[in-house]
Structure 1
Amino acid sequence: MSTVWRRRIKSRSRGSGVLPAALFVVTAMSCLTTGWFVPDQLLVWPGVLLGLAAAVALVWRRRRPLAVLAVTALCTMGMGALGFLLTPFIMGPLLAAQYCVALSRGRSTTWYSASAAAAGMGVAGLGLTPSLRGSMFIVFINPVGWVLLTAAFGSYVRVRREYAAARVEHQEREREELARHRVVQERMRIARELHDVVAHHLALANAQAGTAARLARSDPAQAVEILEHLSGTTAEAMREMKRTVGLLRQESDTSQDLLPAPGLEQLPDLLDTCVEAGLKVSVEVHGEPRVLHPGLNLTAYRIVQEALTNVTKHAATGTARVRLAYTLSDLTITVANDGSPRDAICQRRNERGFGLVGMGERVFAAGGSFHAGPRPQGGFEVFCSLPLNDERSAP
């Protein structure tokens, strides 16, 4: 148990005896004061004893609120029968018990008990106070009104507390949902990085191995050269995997050994690896190239990388075109390959993995638009537009 809760329990246990004592003092002083001014008509000490009984009953107000309310109501009615005017000072224990009932019970129980207590006070005021029977407000409306007002105030406090507790619970659920959402987003980001890194190099290695197998008899020298490049491709895949896993395993975000994230500056190296796999790629750049911040630069590079990887794996062609168009507001990337419409449909069916999904997620996270599908004249095309001034593109 925490120290804060221990302090609250101790303070509540001490406060459970302070309130009855204070209310008994107020009730006793009211009885003595009334007896001082009307010495011949009131039995003061029986009234003090009834006030003591009502105050003592308040010790159990949290465990037995309804029973305590009944005891305090009977004691208060007895004081009215002795001729005491039912003022808030005389009714103090009853009002405290009614407040506890309103706090701990529901609305129907609160108002049923309040109605019973108010009826008792009305009977005590009208039938048991003969000296003041002529004043309706003093003997009837005043005690009944105090009981109902206390019940209303206790209900208001209970509703406010329930609202505050519900709001805290709602905020806690929102924080948990946000934490889960962040975990899911991070898992998706990691999955995209692993897919882009591993799938690209494995696709190139598979293409190189297939080309070498076809050339093993007709052109052994070229097959050996391709196999030499194959070892470099697999080694690069291992290095990329090691770097990605190392980034995930580090405990802090600061590391001097990490290489910068790839960007469009590494596009020539990417094209060289595609050529080694047997895919010839032409690049067109329109507009004046601009310096991209790391987040958008990585997104653009991964889009081109994954699109060329898909061409290497699925397209029945050995050529592809990359078009980069810079404007003042956005960067558009188009990766297309030639082929018959039937080949494009087959390529679309083969690309049911996570490549296109990952590209779309990257583009949408950057605030851009994405489209991938067969071209009318044949082949397949990947198109995306990345905003250059969108805050979501920031790393």
Structure 2
Amino acid sequence: MNAEIIGIGSELLLGQIVNTDAQFISEQLSTLGIDVFWHTVVGDNRKRIMEALRLAADRSDIIITTGGLGPTMDDLSKETMAEFLGMELEIHEPSLNRIQSYFTTMGREMTDNNKKQALFPKEAIVLKNDNGTAPGAIIEKNDRIHIILPGPPSELQPMFVNEVKPYLAGKTVDEIYSRVLRIFGVGESSVEAKIKDLLQKQSNPTIAPLAGAGEVKMRITAKAASRQEAEKMIVPVQKDIESRLGNAVYGYDDDPMEMIVIKSLREKEMYLALAESCTGGHVTDLITNIPGASDVLLESCVTYSNEAKVKRLGVSEDTLKKYGAVSSQTAYEMAEGIRKISGADIGAAITGIAGPGGATRQKPVGLIYLSLSSYGGTETKELHLSGNRLRIKEAAALHLLNWLRLSLE
């Protein structure tokens, strides 16, 4: 089976919001073995929505629309779908009752136009919305499945997972399973060169390198009669890739670098303390986004000024005068200082020039110094990064986390 996703809403075409619905649905459909060949976006216009539906009907087994289920006049998805299928709309009483209850719970008065959200063809399987006022629907007609979903991700995602996905699972035979390898420290072109022969002979499983923010992701996808069989098909390919890339492969699927670092620290029963300058606390933010970070992170200090480096971390004024804030010597003393002050097993520090100002010929934008201090000694690293200010900060934080990861192996 193949599917087409039609995102409805002029705000998508105007670039006011990103169509994350299509990404989410595509990922979900892939686990069911349903191929997605087309993503379409159309504005809030009945004629153009109708054209999109006709085109989709000529090439897709499943048509999924997102958005356009609100109470206002420009919300036309359901009405246009009913017209396309030659069906009449009528009030679905359970949905109307749920909408009325929603407004009562919110302490607001329901206006008459909200009633249109309870209008559905009598042939439809109505999908309840526990997170808003717009129910969805599944309609089978002409050997085709039509699925109507609300646009807000907070409403669409639980509706899809809880109601649409189980429904579609009963209609499919094959399953698609993907494993994503997360790679850091090796560029996309270098990764491709190392596995070029695998890419050239791939069939099932397939291999797809994906460049991301500061890292490369390698998606291995297998299609089989069951998830278990697909997983088995992926294993030898995964092992082959890992043997070629070595410890550049740091994690899998949705596990970010900071999660791997926290896991390693916890397993070794070690504590971490951070001293940040140019990243302004970004490393700390990444780490504390992970539940359980308090098990391993003792403290963090953002010492943006020279005065703070001296006062909070004990960096020598002589070091700052002689070498400057952006230097391996200052990074060294920052890492040692935060480790000793906090009592942590590892002190990690970062200082540099994120730009666009503050650079000199000797110290250009993107010059970064990292340092790790432990009871076994203190080391520093020099990096030369490129990009705008935010990209440099992000890349510098990932480099520090990656060094932490490798040091804990």
Q: What's the TM-score, normalizing by structure 2? A: 0.16
Greater radius of gyration (CA): 1
Q: Which has the higher strand share?
A: 2
